[in-house]
Structure 1
Amino acid sequence: MITRPLRPGVVDVHAHWLPRELFELPGTGPHAALHDRDGQLYLGDLPLSIATSAMSDVDAIEDDMRRADVGARVLSAPPFAFPLEPGTAADTYVGDFNRALAGVVADGGGALLGLGIVTLADAGAATSQMEELAQTEGIAGIAIPPVANGRSLDGPPMHHVLREAERLELAVLVHPMQLPRPEWASYYLTNLIGNPVESATAVASLILSGIKDSLPRLRICFVHGGGCAPGLLGRWNHGWTMRADVRSASSRPPREPFAELFFDTVTHDSRQLELLCALAGSDRVVCGSDYPFDMAEADPSRFAVEHGPGRAALIRAAMSYLGLPTG
């Protein structure tokens, strides 16, 4: 819950933070262990091109906010920290992260908000964790991956979490995981192609499954401008019109529920952002940075204001997404 006023300015809803004491990630998952090497972050032997301090130190985060003209920043776990496996270790990790995040945002003076994490393999644990987050000052919602147990947002684990998020009035941020595939092993294609595809798949599954229609009060945001989704929306609409299997679970053409979702501005291209604004509407586009990754938008506020819906609209959209008064 958020009862304290935010620091004035553009709100960056997509930024990452992980304390050093939690670098040892839960379970095995698709990624190797995170660790520091001479001040730089590595996933196993893969360099992330990120200074360790940028990910874990609040002073570095606030310095970047001042540089980037960001009023308030919403922090969430990096995508390789999502707890995908069941067990006590995952539950402990979730609790440790959420408590640490609550402490950081409580000391932020209205400049920092948080999105917690939940156990994705245990519905009962997820509900308990989300109920606690809903009562925690400075926590706006949860961040989740686009897939769990081989299923997208229409699978049982994710559907349960989305239902509970709507019930508890928690915002949801969907962040791709950069899952490996053999054909994407070179040229960083797991990110350049994989991330946009993961996001688009999640958008499509949410819409075509009818889940968004069944959860009209759900506030859900897809980062990286929704990935490929804006460019594919016309194709989805045509498929929905022409094929009974595509429209079997949904009552509206995809273009309509698409305009009820939120998307961030990390598109890396002004024309792509213009398309997103035209399809989603100016009241559904929020500023994002993807701090501190190398694929981040380096000047998020300027880019979003100049090529997006404008400063006032970005702030209103962020407040609406976070469940805060927009007046």
Structure 2
Amino acid sequence: MAIVDIHSHFFPKSWPDLHAKFGGDWPWLKHQEHGKAMVMKGQLAFRPIYSACWDPAVRLEEMDRDGVSKQIISATPILFAYDKPAEQALYCAQLFNDAAIEICSHNPSRLFALSQVPLQDIDLACKEASRAKSIGHVGVQIGNHVGLKNMDDEGVLTFLQHCANENISVFVHPWDMMASERTKDYMMGWTVGMPAETQLSIVSLILGGGFDRLSTDLKICFAHGGGSFAFLLGRLDNAWHHRDIARGKAQKPPSAYLDRFYLDSAVFDHDALDLLVKKMGTDRLMFGSDYPFPLGEQRMGQLVKTAVNLNEQQKQQILATNAEQFFQI
């Protein structure tokens, strides 16, 4: 059974000293022994990683271990630089986009890349998304917000329409999680904040009238199974029907827009996967592992492979067919 993993991350083994170039706090890698490294943000430790992030040989070996046919790599959100001046963020986007293509060049039939863009400047973001497509990227990954601007922001909608016009697939990843002071312990920023951010991004795009305005040609997928969106869809519909202020600009109830976007399968629980299938259908789900991080699926594809309520055709849809069509790989 073919497996295409649409949600995996990378770091280059090294990159120019961004602090020396621009000043301020920037991510960098502190390499350790035995293929391990610590991602640093200025002088603060951010995340431990290992060589699968930068070494395509290690990545391919672990893909073979789990039977993964193809994998799409994307930057870890700490590299977005949305909080920096736009020209600096553009420099970073080009730097890491080129690095991603270099990693994929080691086996271009199995490794593919999503670009990043300086989303705080829509003109620059559109230009970089198009440039990245021209050098081989199969889509673009964006964060789910820029500061206080959600997915219904006019600039973000302009960027999404550009992607629809240029046939650039979009993957939305949560980052810079809400309530950081209240979720700083126990990794709750990742286990609580990230799902909440993902639900917020979908709901803001729906209720902000984004799907009513954007071309149906837009191909957009949200990470982490959409967070808590599927579980709370009934609450959203109830609010839309019974409180006019809860409708926003959406012409239809939220459940009427499920055919406008995709979700990945990174939910780590068969009951949650069953709910996604019931709400979205197998034709709107794509396998994502969040590899190679500790909070990702440790044996890529096992959740879908062992799902007792899916037949072989449905498993293959989620594991590969939908992704191959969505990203044209």
CA displacement 1:40-95 (0-9 Å, x = unmatched): 223344362422x1211111111111111110000100111112022432221111
Q: Does 1:113 align with 2:107?
A: no
Change (3 A) 1:49 1:314: same
Q: Is the 8 A contact 2:283 2:317 kept in 1?
A: no
**What fraction of aligned residue pairs are identical, expressed as a percent?**
26
Q: Does 1:92 align with 2:88?
A: no
Letter of the 1:239 counterpart: A
Letter of the 1:260 counterpart: R
User: 2:302 aligns to what?
Assistant: 302
Q: Is the 8 A contact 2:219 2:261 kept in 1?
A: yes
The equivalent position to 2:169 in structure 1, one of 168, 171, 178, is 171
For residue 37 of structure 1, report the CA deviation from its aligned partner.
4.2
Letter of the 1:297 counterpart: E
For residue 191 of structure 1, report the CA deviation from its aligned partner.
0.8
Q: Is the 8 A contact 1:262 1:321 kept in 2?
A: no
Map residues 77-88 of structure 1 onto 2, 5 A cutoff.
Answer: 77-84=75-82, 85-88=84-87
User: 1:20 aligns to what?
Assistant: 13
Q: Does 1:249 align with 2:242?
A: no
User: 2:269 aligns to what?
Assistant: 269
User: 1:4 aligns to what?
Assistant: none
CA distance in 1, matches of 2:206, 2:140: 20
Map residues 225-236 of structure 1 onto 2, 5 A cutoff.
Answer: 225-236=225-236
CA distance in 1, matches of 2:194, 2:211: 22
CA distance in 2, matches of 1:217, 1:272: 28
Q: Does 1:322 align with 2:316?
A: no
Runs of 4+ in 1 over 4 A off after TM superposition: 23-29
Task: Provide structure 2 residue ranges, at least 5 long, that are not aligned to the other structure.
Answer: none
CA distance in 1, matches of 2:117, 2:146: 12
Change (3 A) 1:220 1:266: same
**Secondary structure, in 3 states, of the residue corresponding to 1:169?**
coil
**Secondary structure, in 3 states, of the residue corresponding to 1:184?**
coil
For residue 110 of structure 1, report the CA deviation from its aligned partner.
0.8
Q: Is the 8 A contact 2:290 2:296 kept in 1?
A: yes
Q: Does 1:210 align with 2:228?
A: no
Q: Is the 8 A contact 1:25 1:81 kept in 2?
A: no
Map residues 89-238 of structure 1 onto 2, 5 A cutoff.
Answer: 89-137=88-136, 139-179=137-177, 181-215=180-214, 216-238=216-238
CA distance in 2, matches of 1:151, 1:28: 25
Task: Provide structure 1 residue ranges, at least 5 long, that are not aligned to the other structure.
Answer: 1-7
CA displacement 1:225-255 (0-9 Å, x = unmatched): 1111111111111111112122241112111
Letter of the 1:17 counterpart: F
Letter of the 1:101 counterpart: A
User: 2:49 aligns to what?
Assistant: 50
CA displacement 1:231-283 (0-9 Å, x = unmatched): 11111111111121222411121112123311111101110011011111100
Q: Is the 8 A contact 1:75 1:113 kept in 2?
A: yes
**Secondary structure, in 3 states, of the residue corresponding to 2:182?**
helix
**Secondary structure, in 3 states, of the residue corresponding to 2:263?**
strand
